[in-house]
Structure 1
Amino acid sequence: MPIEIHPPRQSWLDDFADLKQAILRAAPAGATIHHIGSTAVPGLAAKDIIDIQVSVDTLDLVDETAFEREGFKSRSIVADHCPPGLDLAENELRKRYFKSTGRPANIHVREKGRFNQRYALLCRDFLRAHATAAAAYGLIKQRLAGFFPDNADAYYDIKDPVFDIIMDGAYDWARLTGWMEPPGD
């Protein structure tokens, strides 16, 4: 399937709300659900795939069968990438990962308080607060999709470090503003 970047759509918010209902039925008690990724940033071009983070107390509580009953298939990805220059313990990057069998969506289940769980929320909120950074990031994704429409490895090999550059500014912004993890969406 080729990588395609789409103009922003209002329907992405509605799609998240629909998916959230199914996730709530599958998620462990006390889970927090957030709309993350580019489709969660107003005005940002994105792939037409809704990314959702489910924050849980421990990954051991995730019931794969419950997610599958709700239309989410487990995938083999078990860790997020580690940004260059950081030496993080494996548990800071671990996750469970599901793909929707219906409306295209990626479900990232991460433990509360871990590096990867905070990373996704901080990046989303930083891009929401910085329209110029979001527009530049959108343009990078569009250009990468144009250069590598059928090569996801090349697309992500460049996109991930760009994201890490954005996050360097996001960490400073979080310190300056006193950013805190928001309640669920």
Structure 2
Amino acid sequence: MFAQEAERIWQVLGNDLVVEIEHIGSTAVPGMAAKPVIDIMVGVRSLVNATSAVPALESLGYVYWRENPDPGRMFFVKGMPPYGNQRTHHVHIVEVNSEFWERKLFCDYLRRHPEEAKRYEALKRDLAATFRSDREAYTSGKNDYIRAVMSKARCEEMGKKQ
């Protein structure tokens, strides 16, 4: 599902805008329990020059979240009522080499380290059970773990570049 949607996105946005497209989130880690929503990160050189993405992605059925509180990304949702039965995809347009773009290291690390992926999955299950109706608490409960894994991922990445 990711590859097909990424290809469709690349076709409507074009090579002039898109630098790279990455599959992020739990569905990007084989075998990990996840909500059935594909998170797609589109890397661009400049968010200022990415406004053309709005009508292009809307043509694929995405809705742009203009009130997004994070100025470091443009966020789109596909399938959310009343435009569909349930969310199927999220698209995050971010500048390459930004802090948000670096999140791809987290998924890359979990894919290379299945034991770490299992620990993350267990944490997510515990938090989901504890904070069933509190999305913010669920998300903040993952922060320390994600920071620790990101530190390992950065160290591993630096080792590759040397």
Task: Sort the TM-score into its range (normalised by shorter chain).
Answer: 0.7 to 0.9
Give the whole-Å Cα distance in 2 for the aligned partners of 1:116 and 1:168.
Answer: 15
Instruction: Work out which of the residue numbers 24, 32, 37 in structure 2 matches 1:49.
Output: 37
- Cα distance in structure 1, aligned partners of 2:72 and 2:69: 6
Pair 1:177-2:155 in alignment: no
Helix, strand or coil for the counterpart of 2:39? strand
Aligned residues: 151
Q: Which runs of 4+ in 1 moved over 6 A?
A: none
Query: Which letter does structure 1 place at the counterpart of 2:157?
Result: A
Q: Within 2, Cα distance between the matches of 1:153 and 1:115?
A: 20
- Which one-letter code corresponds to 2:120 in the other structure? Y
| Structure 2 counterpart of 1:113, one-letter code | N
Structure 2 equivalent of residue 65 of structure 1: 55
Gaps of 5+ in 2: none
Q: Contact conserved, 1:28 with 1:61, CA < 8 A, in 2?
A: no
SS at 1:113 equivalent: coil
- Structure 1 residue runs without a partner (length 5+): 1-14, 80-92, 180-185
Whether the 8 Å CA contact 1:95–1:109 is kept in 2: the answer is yes
Correspondence 1:143-162 to 2 at 5 A = 143-162=126-145
* Seq. identity, %: 30
Alignment deviations for residues 113-165 of structure 1 (CA, whole Å, 9 cap, x no partner): 22221x22111111111111111001100111111122101101111332112
Using structure 1 for the length normalisation, give the TM-score.
0.74
Which of 2, 8, 11 is equivalent to 1:25?
11
Q: CA RMSD in A?
A: 1.9
* SS of residue matched to 1:115: coil
Structure showing greater relative contact order (alpha-carbon pairs closer than 8 Å, 6 or more residues apart): 1
Using the size of structure 2 for normalisation, the TM-score is 0.84
Q: Does 1:130 align with 2:94?
A: no
Q: Does 1:77 align with 2:77?
A: no
